[in-house]
Amino acid sequence: MAYAEWMGKRLPTTAEWELAASAGASTPDGKDDPAYRERILNWYSAAGTGSLADVGSTPRYYWGVYDLHGLVWEWVEDFNSALVTGESRNNSDLDLKLFCGTGSVGASQFDDYTAFVRFAFRSGLEGNYTVPNLGFRCARDASVGSATTQKS
């Protein structure tokens, strides 16, 4: 967050990131595209190689954004906003190191497994966590009255 602020930007919210990440190659909502889902699931299920792909090496999506899937998991500003406690099959155990996909209970599309995985991952994070494939991107608000398009 400090780096983003230093750059005059901020981390995206979960809602902003998910909106951008749901875009397909040619439409703002690619979740019903089997190729879109397969590409994301393939990345989620692949064993780590120890090195990251080059920035810009994954497909560019509808909004003109690269690397939303296939490079790193990304921090969002409200990463711990999901209301998840314990493990959903045994909610009497409030071990906060356990997490599950219940954080996506308000999801609009219940068959979007990849979104559930992202919510589960984020709900298990703490602000001081770091792993080799956890990164971030900076976001900025569009200027009021500017001539920028949604794809900027």
pLDDT 10s digits, 54-98? 888 887 888 888 888 877 888 888 877 765 555 554 555 555 554
Nearest of 73, 68, 44 to residue 58 by alpha carbon: 68
Do 111 and 104 touch, CB atoms closer than 8 A? no
Radius of gyration of the chain (CA): 16
Tokens representing residue 28 in the block: 């703002």
Q: Return d(Cα 121, Cα 69) in angstroms, integer.
A: 14
Residue 23 pLDDT class (50, 70, 90 cuts) = confident
- 3-class SS at 120? helix
Q: Return d(Cα 61, Cα 36) in angstroms, integer.
A: 10
pLDDT for 131 beyond 70:
yes
